[in-house]
Amino acid sequence: MAAGAVERLVNESDPDRLEERVASNMRAMARFFWFTIEFGLMRARSSEAHEDPLRVYGSGLLSSYGEIEHAVESSDVQRFPFQLEWVVNQGFRIDRFQPLLFVVDSFEHLFEEVNRLETWVGEGRLDNVAPGEPVISEEEVRISLEAARSG
């Protein structure tokens, strides 16, 4: 998890909900990673837009021509402007082409969203994201808590 996230939860959370909140933060960050680093789309600069309005930057997309074609051209894909509120609450499946993707305006925009995500972790805004994929195991939560407690 982001630096300090587990520590904040260990120190400030209701002990009865601690594991649930840690899992929620981990799920939110995994979703952020999935919809950016793995399956991110970016708007083309205006000088490039005449060719194709979208660019692929996610490694999960770049590793497969079929994934690229599906993400950029398929009418089966819903493409939405990147909204952190949506991303951290949107589950995903790893065993099929993605039916929903998020589009950032630029790498600068992406970096701003990373900073927002970190702020949200610190403010506790990710303590109760939507359940679903990815499933965070009890062992993953336990390991995170042990690491936070050992300093």
103 within 8 A of 87, measured Cβ to Cβ: no
Single-letter amino acid code for the residue at 113: E
Neighbours of 112 (CB within 10 A): 15
pTM for the full predicted model? 0.86
Single-letter amino acid code for the residue at 23: A
Domains and CATH numbers, the chain: 5-150 (1.10.800.10)
pLDDT digits (tens), the chain, 151 positions: 454 565 666 666 566 788 899 999 999 999 999 999 999 999 987 665 556 689 999 999 999 999 999 999 999 999 999 999 999 999 999 999 999 999 999 999 999 999 999 999 989 999 999 999 999 999 999 898 888 888 6
The burial class, CB within 10 Å (0-12 / 13-18 / 19+), for 122 is: middle
State residue 44 phi and psi, 5-degree precision. -75, 150
